[in-house]
Structures are given as structure tokens and as C-alpha cells.
């Protein structure tokens, strides 16, 4: 029986090459946005990255683009309070959403971020997919369900990207995958395949590049 939410199959050589060529081009930080009025024009394919604090989002974006310091990791969870836009070649935006799941940010600040996030996710017609990063060691936590439900409500397709796979023994991976699959089964906007990555070892990076490059 086919498992629900299988791990994505290895891309064919043409897709791998398309991903390599796309990400071999220049990636630059464009701007940090704190209000809808600051969004750049919706004139290209856009993908965004979401994940709770310390899930390895900056490391993944840096690994994808091959630029070590492009997305800066903050030691303070929830420090990134902006939606950060990066241009990839002349054809794509990579969008780094604020980390969530921080306990020490003031309630008013959290509410403001959530409002901006909702507006962005609901109102961005060029947004093709959200990649939601989940730490392979922990699986989907209640705090993740908030963003998944937000994406359901905004009708934005999201794909789970498991991070830090190198930190989890092969024997423990199945338990995490089973937990993630079960959690995803209640979310209508979930893309039916999971990507497993390790930014440190480079696992899954070529696959993720090819997914972004071959998006229509």
C-alpha cells in the first residue's frame, strides 16, 4: 500500500540540472517588509519558507543558494520580525517568513506579525508554494499546526521540508515520518510529498532546488 505523504522521489537528471542552473545564478537580499504596503511587485514566481525558531531555516536558505551569510540566523528566537525577500535570478523571489514559536516576544508584537503573515499569505497571487520546515528530531508540534491551519485558510499549498535529518538515526526516522504523516492528514493544503534535508551534509538540497526550478 502506498503510504500517504511519501518522501519525494529523486528528481530526473533534467530537473536536477534545471535546479542547479537556477541556483547557480545570483541571489540577493532585496528588502525586509513590515507592512503590506512594502511588498515588492508580484511580478515573478514566489516561494516562501516558514518554520519555528531554530528549525534551521537560515541554514537551509544558505545551503540552497550556496551563499553562507545570505540569510542570517539570529540567536534570539523570534528576532526576525520582517518578511525578508531575496531575488533569485530575474525569475524568482525566495521569501523568508518570521520564525514562530517564541515565548519571549510581547503579545502585541506577536499579534502584529500574525496579522501581517495572514495578509501576505492570503493576498499574494504569485506565491506558488510555502515550504514549512519541521525539525526531524521533533516532528510536528502544536505550534506548527497554527501556521499549517493558516496556510489551509489562505489556500496556499504547503510542502513539509524535514530539516536536520543527519541528527536522527535511521531507526528513529520512521517514527518521525509516521507522526508527520498523521498530522498532515488533517490539512487540505498539504502537498502530498515530503522532502528530507540536511543543510550540513547537503542531503535533499538538489531535490529542493529542482522542485523550485520546475514549478509552473
Per-residue pLDDT 10s for the chain (216 aa) are 567 899 999 999 999 999 999 999 999 999 999 899 999 999 999 999 999 988 999 999 999 999 988 887 655 554 557 899 999 999 999 999 988 776 567 788 778 888 888 999 998 999 999 999 999 999 999 989 989 999 999 999 999 999 999 999 998 999 999 999 999 999 999 999 999 999 999 999 999 999 999 997
Q: Given this model, what pLDDT does residue 16 score?
A: 98
Domain of residue 49 covers 13-213
Q: Residue 178 is part of a domain; what is its CATH number?
A: 3.40.50.300
* Position 5 in a domain: no
* Position 4 in a domain: no
* Position 3 in a domain: no
* Position 6 in a domain: no
Q: Given this model, what pLDDT does residue 168 score?
A: 96
Q: Given this model, what pLDDT does residue 133 score?
A: 98
Q: Given this model, what pLDDT does residue 2 score?
A: 63
* Position 1 in a domain: no
Which of 6, 18, 70 lies closest to 206, judged by CA? Answer: 18
Q: Are 7 and 159 in contact (CB under 8 A)?
A: no
* Position 209 in a domain: yes
Report CA-CA distances (Å) from 197 to 91, 103, 109, 141. 24, 27, 31, 18
pTM: 0.94
Enclosing H/E stretch for 33: strand 27-33
* Position 95 in a domain: yes
Q: How far apart are CA 35 and CA 17, in angstroms?
A: 37
* Position 8 in a domain: no
Number of domains making up the chain: 1
Report CA-CA distances (Å) from 183 to 136, 139, 142, 186. 14, 9, 10, 6
Q: Given this model, what pLDDT does residue 111 score?
A: 83
Q: How far apart are CA 135 and CA 141, in angstroms?
A: 10
Amino acid at each position: 500500500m502506498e503510504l500517504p505523504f511519501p518522501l519525494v522521489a529523486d528528481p530526473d537528471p533534467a530537473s536536477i540540472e534545471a535546479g542547479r542552473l537556477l541556483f547557480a545564478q545570483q541571489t540577493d537580499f532585496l528588502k525586509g517588509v513590515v507592512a503590506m504596503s512594502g511588498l515588492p511587485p508580484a511580478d515573478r514566481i514566489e516561494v516562501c519558507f516558514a518554520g519555528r525558531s531554530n528549525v534551521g531555516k537560515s541554514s537551509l536558505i544558505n545551503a540552497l543558494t550556496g551563499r553562507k551569510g545570505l540569510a542570517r540566523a539570529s540567536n534570539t528566537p523570534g528576532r526576525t520580525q520582517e518578511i525578508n525577500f531575496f531575488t533569485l535570478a530575474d525569475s524568482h523571489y525566495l521569501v523568508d517568513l518570521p520564525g514562530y514559536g517564541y515565548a519571549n516576544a510581547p503579545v502585541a508584537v506577536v499579534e502584529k506579525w500574525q496579522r501581517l503573515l495572514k495578509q501576505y499569505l492570503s493576498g499574494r497571487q504569485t506565491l506558488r508554494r510555502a515550504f514549512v520546515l519541521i525539525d526531524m528530531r521533533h516532528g510536528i508540534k502544536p505550534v506548527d499546526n497554527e501556521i499549517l491551519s493558516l496556510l489551509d485558510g489562505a489556500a496556499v499549498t504547503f510542502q513539509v521540508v524535514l530539516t536536520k535529518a543527519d541528527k536522527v538515526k535511521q531507526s528513529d526516522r520512521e517514527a518521525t515520518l509516521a507522526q508527520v504523516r498523521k498530522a498532515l492528514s488533517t490539512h487540505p493544503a498539504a502537498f502530498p510529498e515530503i522532502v528530507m534535508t540536511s543543510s550540513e551534509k547537503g542531503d535533499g538540497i538538489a531535490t529542493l532546488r529542482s522542485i523550485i526550478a520546475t514549478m509552473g
